[in-house]
Amino acid sequence: MQLSTIKCEACRVDSPRASEDQRREYMAQLPEWQIVRQDGVDRLQRVYPFKDFVAALAFTNRVGEIAEIEGHHPLLITEWGRVTVQWWTHKIGGLHTNDFVLAARTDQLTT
Protein backbone atom coordinates (compact mmCIF):
# COMPACT_ATOMS: atom_id res chain seq x y z
CA MET A 1 0.00 0.00 0.00
CA GLN A 2 1.28 3.46 -0.84
CA LEU A 3 2.11 5.47 2.26
CA SER A 4 0.47 8.65 1.01
CA THR A 5 -2.92 6.89 0.87
CA ILE A 6 -2.89 5.62 4.46
CA LYS A 7 -5.19 7.50 6.81
CA CYS A 8 -3.41 9.05 9.78
CA GLU A 9 -4.67 7.97 13.18
CA ALA A 10 -4.90 9.96 16.37
CA CYS A 11 -1.75 9.39 18.41
CA ARG A 12 -1.69 8.91 22.16
CA VAL A 13 1.17 8.58 24.62
CA ASP A 14 0.70 4.79 24.54
CA SER A 15 0.62 4.55 20.73
CA PRO A 16 3.19 2.11 19.35
CA ARG A 17 6.28 3.30 17.57
CA ALA A 18 6.88 1.96 14.07
CA SER A 19 8.58 -1.43 14.29
CA GLU A 20 11.90 -2.12 12.59
CA ASP A 21 10.09 -4.10 9.88
CA GLN A 22 7.66 -1.24 9.30
CA ARG A 23 10.49 1.27 9.18
CA ARG A 24 12.31 -0.76 6.51
CA GLU A 25 9.12 -1.16 4.47
CA TYR A 26 8.23 2.53 4.74
CA MET A 27 11.75 3.79 4.00
CA ALA A 28 11.71 1.79 0.75
CA GLN A 29 8.97 4.21 -0.37
CA LEU A 30 10.89 7.26 0.86
CA PRO A 31 14.32 7.01 -0.81
CA GLU A 32 15.19 10.69 -0.31
CA TRP A 33 14.47 10.63 3.43
CA GLN A 34 16.83 9.69 6.25
CA ILE A 35 16.24 8.62 9.80
CA VAL A 36 18.29 10.94 12.00
CA ARG A 37 18.67 10.86 15.76
CA GLN A 38 18.42 14.24 17.44
CA ASP A 39 18.15 14.84 21.18
CA GLY A 40 17.81 11.08 21.65
CA VAL A 41 14.77 10.86 19.33
CA ASP A 42 14.57 9.27 15.88
CA ARG A 43 13.15 11.62 13.24
CA LEU A 44 12.54 11.50 9.51
CA GLN A 45 14.44 14.21 7.66
CA ARG A 46 14.71 15.45 4.12
CA VAL A 47 16.22 18.60 2.63
CA TYR A 48 14.36 19.93 -0.41
CA PRO A 49 16.25 22.24 -2.80
CA PHE A 50 14.57 25.27 -4.41
CA LYS A 51 15.63 27.96 -6.87
CA ASP A 52 15.17 30.79 -4.38
CA PHE A 53 13.65 31.86 -1.08
CA VAL A 54 10.20 32.57 -2.52
CA ALA A 55 9.85 28.99 -3.80
CA ALA A 56 11.15 27.60 -0.50
CA LEU A 57 8.67 29.69 1.47
CA ALA A 58 5.76 28.64 -0.75
CA PHE A 59 6.67 24.98 -0.16
CA THR A 60 6.92 25.59 3.59
CA ASN A 61 3.39 26.99 3.57
CA ARG A 62 2.07 23.94 1.66
CA VAL A 63 3.68 21.62 4.22
CA GLY A 64 2.06 23.72 6.94
CA GLU A 65 -1.33 23.21 5.34
CA ILE A 66 -1.09 19.41 5.39
CA ALA A 67 0.25 19.55 8.95
CA GLU A 68 -2.77 21.56 10.09
CA ILE A 69 -5.20 19.21 8.36
CA GLU A 70 -3.73 16.22 10.22
CA GLY A 71 -2.99 18.05 13.49
CA HIS A 72 0.59 16.77 13.27
CA HIS A 73 3.35 19.33 12.92
CA PRO A 74 6.93 18.96 11.66
CA LEU A 75 10.06 20.95 12.27
CA LEU A 76 10.49 23.20 9.23
CA ILE A 77 13.65 25.17 8.53
CA THR A 78 13.23 27.53 5.59
CA GLU A 79 16.34 29.07 4.07
CA TRP A 80 17.28 30.63 0.77
CA GLY A 81 17.12 27.76 -1.72
CA ARG A 82 16.14 24.96 0.63
CA VAL A 83 13.72 23.64 3.22
CA THR A 84 14.60 21.02 5.82
CA VAL A 85 11.62 18.98 7.03
CA GLN A 86 11.64 16.69 10.07
CA TRP A 87 8.68 14.52 11.06
CA TRP A 88 8.42 12.62 14.36
CA THR A 89 5.76 12.06 16.98
CA HIS A 90 6.35 14.11 20.09
CA LYS A 91 3.91 12.12 22.26
CA ILE A 92 5.81 8.85 21.81
CA GLY A 93 9.30 10.32 21.44
CA GLY A 94 9.95 8.63 18.12
CA LEU A 95 8.55 7.49 14.81
CA HIS A 96 4.95 6.45 14.25
CA THR A 97 3.37 5.31 11.00
CA ASN A 98 1.85 8.81 10.71
CA ASP A 99 5.33 10.31 10.31
CA PHE A 100 6.07 8.14 7.30
CA VAL A 101 2.64 8.89 5.81
CA LEU A 102 3.19 12.62 6.15
CA ALA A 103 6.70 12.35 4.71
CA ALA A 104 5.17 10.68 1.64
CA ARG A 105 2.54 13.42 1.39
CA THR A 106 5.27 16.03 1.72
CA ASP A 107 7.05 14.48 -1.25
CA GLN A 108 3.84 14.78 -3.28
CA LEU A 109 3.94 18.56 -2.82
CA THR A 110 6.96 18.77 -5.12
CA THR A 111 5.37 16.97 -8.08
Q: Tell me: the pLDDT tens digits for 3-57?
A: 888 888 878 888 999 999 999 999 999 999 999 999 999 999 999 999 999 999 9
Residue 111: pLDDT above 80?
Answer: no
* Residue 15, phi then psi, degrees to nearest 5: -65, 145
- What radius of gyration, in Å, describes the C-alpha atoms of the chain? 13
List the domain boundaries for the chain: 18-108
**Which pLDDT score, from 0 to 100, does residue 12 have?**
85
Give the whole-angstrom CA distance, residue 104 versus residue 108: 7
Q: What is the mean pLDDT of residues 87-100?
A: 95
Looking at residue 8, the DSSP 8-state letter turns out to be P
Structurally, at CATH architecture level, domain 18-108 sits in: 2-Layer Sandwich (3.30)
Q: Tell me: the pLDDT tens digits for 63-76?
A: 999 999 999 999 99
